[in-house]
Amino acid sequence: MKKLSILLCCLLFPLAAAAQERTGNINGIVTDKDGIPLPGVNITLTGPTVAPMTAQSNSEGRFRFLSLHPGDKFDIKLELQGFKTRSETGIII
């Protein structure tokens, strides 16, 4: 029984350590130059620790990317037909 307890502790410890990993989020609101929220904006996130991710702003212009691994070279590109494409680079998480 004691061996089983030790084995279980050894197997569960890495899971507990992985749960402690730090992550961050990026969220925001896309607006036009007059501050009016823009729904349906295509947002692409690229960075050193993630494959390219996409999102679309909701009816209030809000978007979010969750549980991102820390880094300092994330880029976001925002695109909407009829508007100029906007890019932000060097975002730190």
What pTM, to 2 d.p., does this model score? Answer: 0.74
Instruction: Work out the burial of residue 30: count CB atoms within 10 Å of its CB; fewer than 13 is exposed, 13-18 middle, 19 or more buried.
Output: buried
56-91 pLDDT tens trace: 999 999 999 998 988 888 999 999 999 999 999 999
pLDDT the model gives residue 48: 84
pLDDT the model gives residue 50: 82
| Banded model confidence at residue 19, pLDDT cuts 50, 70, 90 | low
Average the pLDDT over 19-34 and give the result. 86
Q: Which two tokens stand for residue 58?
A: 């909701």
Distance CA 19, CA 13 (A): 10
pLDDT the model gives residue 18: 52
Q: Among 8-12, 20-24, 40-44, which is the least confidently predicted range?
A: 8-12
Helices marked H in 2-66 — which ranges?
A: 2-19
Helices marked H in the chain — which ranges?
A: 2-19
